[in-house]
Structure 1
Amino acid sequence: MNSPTIELSQDLAMIRVKSRKEARHRRHLRVRKKVNGTPDRPRLCVCFTGRHIYAQLIDDTAGRTLASVMTTEKELAEQPLRPNQASAAVVGRILAERALAKNIRQVVFDRGGYRYHGKVKALADAARAAGLVF
């Protein structure tokens, strides 16, 4: 027979604590149920790591990336870009310029499970200021 303390400890071992990454991923899936990119109105997807910022315009119907900007690009590597609000604004402005060059004016914003605050808001505001319509 098992004692009650052993059963209790086994039950506690089965409880899984979610990491911040897993929680963000679940929020992103919840957002993606509602947000879908089309050729006329692609999805502007953002991603932040500890060192870099990535933004893409994605046509989900064809499964293609129409335009992208990342802080790892050669032309942006010359500037000391960090994953902060100022760098996010630069990335948003450059992405909007590339989108307008391809005649893309309207986008759907996918915040990627992040809160619409700080870097995410700075990137979105810079893209809007450069001419994109959300």
Structure 2
Amino acid sequence: MVQLAEKKALDYFSSHNCCQAVLRTVLEEKGLMFDEAVFVGSGFGGGIIGRGEVCGAVSGAVMAIGLLTKTRYSDLAEHKQFTRETAKIFYERFEGIYGDSTCNGLIGIDRNDPEAKKKASEAGIYRENCPKFVQSAVNIVLDLFADE
């Protein structure tokens, strides 16, 4: 299942941003996909509107965690608490692998600097790195919800 999910995530990443690819893959794997879900993540790619802040793959993972947590807790207070706890575990695992969870930190450039952004794109920095962030985010979330 994990290898298929990784392939699916990469396939989606060719036409979706990092957030959308993670969110869509996880929701499809868990049978919770709905048409509007992918649109929710539109502005989160590139570290939220391309600003280099929270990695879009991380944002998509946290969104997916919130939706997956709904299957366990319908009470809003319980849902919020469990989502935060689970998202914290996600962050710890992701940052444990990569040392950061921001797009700028992961890529090693300031995405607000047009020249640095252009050089990174020309050097293939995004193509080389972003797919592994997407795959890792999907894998971590699916692992956290493996029993469902």
TM-score normalised by length of structure 1? 0.35
Which structure has the highest helix share of the two?
2
Q: Which has the higher contact order (CA 8 A, sep 6+)?
A: 2
TM-score normalised by length of structure 2? 0.32
Larger gyration radius, structure 1 or structure 2: 1
